[in-house]
Amino acid sequence: MDSAIQTSASFWVIIFGYFAVVLGFGSFFARYNKTTQDFFFSGRRFSWWLITMSIVATGVGSHSFLKYSAKAYEHGFSSTMTYMNDWFFMPLFLFGWLPIVYYTKIRSIPDYFERRFNPGVRILATIAILGYMIGYIAIGFLTMGKTLEPLLGIDLYMIIFIVAIISGIYITFGGQTAVIFTDLLQGFILIFAGILVFILGINYVGGFDIFWNALSPEFKLPLANFNQPSNFNFVGIFWQDGVAGSVGFLFMNQGLIMRFMACKSVHEGRKAAAFNVLILLPICTIVVSNAGWIGKAISIVTPESWNATTQLDHVFTQVAYLITGSEVLFAFVIAAVAAALMSTVDTLINAVAAVVINDIYRPIVKDKDDKHYLKVAMIVSAGATAVGALSTIFFENFPTLYEAHGFFHSTMTPPLVVAIFLGIFWKRYSTPAAFATFLGGAILMWIGNKYPQIFISPFDHGIEFNPERPYTYIRALYNTLVCAGSGVIVGLLTTPPSEEKMEGLTVWSLDKAREFFKGSAPNDRPGESLLAKWIVKDCEEGEVRFSIGDMETMGADVGDLVYLADERKWLGGLKSVHSVYGEPHKEDGVVYITQFQVESGLFDKKRKLIAEKEL
């Protein structure tokens, strides 16, 4: 133990009180889960702001506070690189992958692979994605263990066991709606806590000027040294995180994809993603890194108060303990890290359940009612929690969480990332080519791992070879190239798939995807949203009816898709339904809906509805 942080009973009362609030909050929203569609995708009904805040809590994962604080303490402001290099892929995400997953209504990423290729590729994708998510869950649990280790003084694995049980309980019963709302709360809390640490830290060292001047110019540079040292260099991290990590997180993180699919429309999904990357990520990078910068400043300005033996992964806890000055504040900050852990892990556990149910269980056990699948989904969530906790063993041996995570990204993401990318953007990419990406790529990656000095060194950009951990980050470049190379070569040598088979599944046929989504040709005529009173009347199943005038205002025709939500925008779409325009009536400002829609949307009698045409 590098530090002896003393805590009293009140500290633990606050921590467990926080967990109780989170559990209660999640459980409250669990009542919105009526079907597996709700459990996994929340009925595709939420506004962008709600989704973007919940994405913050997922992205700023549990590992973030610890791993970035460690690297920030060691290497300075360049710890922000990871959060500041996501924009390069935004065109392809916003106008490629996001509309494809939304309009094709895929239930999971492997589901996309079956539609684009065949069931065999789906199996390979399922294995790859489950490995990726379980690994991510394991890193989350390991982080929590390392956060609490200096405080509890008990075995790391005992802590992981306890945390896994608490996390497992509410995700198992909560589902995606609970996850989104819990993450919304936790997103705010962790941003607040991170900024609080920064303000208190600046105050602790004596003001911003002292803080700024204490740090060397090199420490303050936003990008790391180009190719050294081997455990933290710009070019390696660019390929590992900026490319493999960013694409992995945006394109193949089933948990994140499910968030976007919970948006009420593709446009809202785009807004959530753009706002997140442009506004929230720069804030979050300060939130998760600043403890390291503050720690370095403390070690220079008041070295007597800094414990020089602090392990890198304990820098965050040490700094939080020093600067908060009160046990209540310290407990709150630690609870915020717990919040981040829960947010990352709950999203992934829910995503693992989605993949297992939709890609493994449903194809084997067919024709059961939805309640059966919902029950199995809950059992799988509990199982995923247990497997994730057990998998922490694989990551324990890395010097820091940052390096564990870096190695994990470099190794696990390239095959799936390349397959998704070529699948979406390259029409010649065929089923044999997809097999080659997964299998040929895996073999070449294994060879590269076995003989790094022969195979990876040509791509090392001058990074020093470290025999203990060879090319932790830059191996992502080699791995990506061999996976892409295998796919491209086989793609060029085999017959391209037919255009018909790929309709709606590539960026080249998005109009078809929109048509599939709607069931007929999309209506892009401009229109406005409107406020309407609702009356229960018998309509055709799944339809709502507006007046002719109101339909003109909305630019809608019979058969178009419509979204109806409670007039209170701050609910973010929690009370809403999707429907279809039926034959018009003559009462302006009134919408006829069915009793079933009232119950599904949880509409209040006294509240009007906002209606807007979707497609």
Which residues contact other proteins (rule: CB under 8 A)?
77, 84-85, 87-92, 94-96, 99, 217-218, 220-226, 234-235, 238, 242-243, 267, 270, 274, 277-278, 282, 425, 506-508, 510-511, 524-528, 555
Give the torsion through C-alpha atoms of 49, 50, 54, 60, to 10 deg.
Answer: 20
Provide the minimum distance between the beta carbon of 323 and other proteins in the complex, in angstroms, as a whole number: 23
Is 373 or 517 the residue whose CB approaches other proteins more closely? 517
Provide the minimum distance between the beta carbon of 524 and other proteins in the complex, in angstroms, as a whole number: 5
Is 282 or 363 the residue whose CB approaches other proteins more closely? 282
Is 5 or 98 the residue whose CB approaches other proteins more closely? 98
Cβ neighbours of residue 521 under 8 Å, at least 6 residues apart?
Answer: 515
How far apart are alpha carbons 355 and 108 in whole angstroms? 6
Provide the minimum distance between the beta carbon of 470 and other proteins in the complex, in angstroms, as a whole number: 22
Question: Tokens 């037919």 appear where?
Answer: 498
Stretch (H or E) spanning 478 = helix 475-493
Is 164 or 474 the residue whose CB approaches other proteins more closely? 474
First to last CA, the chain: 60
Q: Return the number of other C-beta atoms located less than 10 Å from residue 10's C-beta.
A: 12
Answer yes or no: are the C-beta atoms of 160 and 171 closer than 8 Å: no
Is 47 or 350 the residue whose CB approaches other proteins more closely? 47
> How is residue 6 written in tokens?
């003393």
Provide the minimum distance between the beta carbon of 178 and other proteins in the complex, in angstroms, as a whole number: 32
Provide the minimum distance between the beta carbon of 496 and other proteins in the complex, in angstroms, as a whole number: 16
Q: Return the number of other C-beta atoms located less than 10 Å from residue 143's C-beta.
A: 31
How far apart are alpha carbons 480 and 307 in whole angstroms? 41
User: Which residues lie across from 530 on neighbouring strands?
Assistant: 611
Provide the minimum distance between the beta carbon of 599 and other proteins in the complex, in angstroms, as a whole number: 30
Provide the minimum distance between the beta carbon of 300 and other proteins in the complex, in angstroms, as a whole number: 16
Is 164 or 530 the residue whose CB approaches other proteins more closely? 530
| Nearest residue to 272 (alpha-carbon basis) of 39, 114, 58, 437 | 58
- Write out 546-572 in H/E/C secondary structure: CEHHHHHHHCCCCCCEEEEEECCHHHC
> How is residue 16 written in tokens?
């467990």
How far apart are alpha carbons 77 and 216 in whole angstroms? 11
Q: Return the number of other C-beta atoms located less than 10 Å from residue 475's C-beta.
A: 27
Is 93 or 435 the residue whose CB approaches other proteins more closely? 93
How far apart are alpha carbons 338 and 543 in whole angstroms? 44
Is 228 or 457 the residue whose CB approaches other proteins more closely? 228
How far apart are alpha carbons 504 and 104 in whole angstroms? 7
Provide the minimum distance between the beta carbon of 213 and other proteins in the complex, in angstroms, as a whole number: 11
How far apart are alpha carbons 548 and 514 in whole angstroms? 25
> How is residue 171 written in tokens?
């995700």
Is 49 or 87 the residue whose CB approaches other proteins more closely? 87
Cβ neighbours of residue 224 under 8 Å, at least 6 residues apart?
Answer: 75, 78, 81, 232, 233, 234, 237
Provide the minimum distance between the beta carbon of 110 and other proteins in the complex, in angstroms, as a whole number: 23
DSSP states of 97-158? IHHHHHHTT-SSHHHHHHHHS-HHHHHHHHHHHHHHHHHHHHHHHHHHHHHHHHHH-S-HHH
Is 155 or 218 the residue whose CB approaches other proteins more closely? 218
User: Which residues lie across from 263 on neighbouring strands?
Assistant: 46
Is 362 or 427 the residue whose CB approaches other proteins more closely? 427
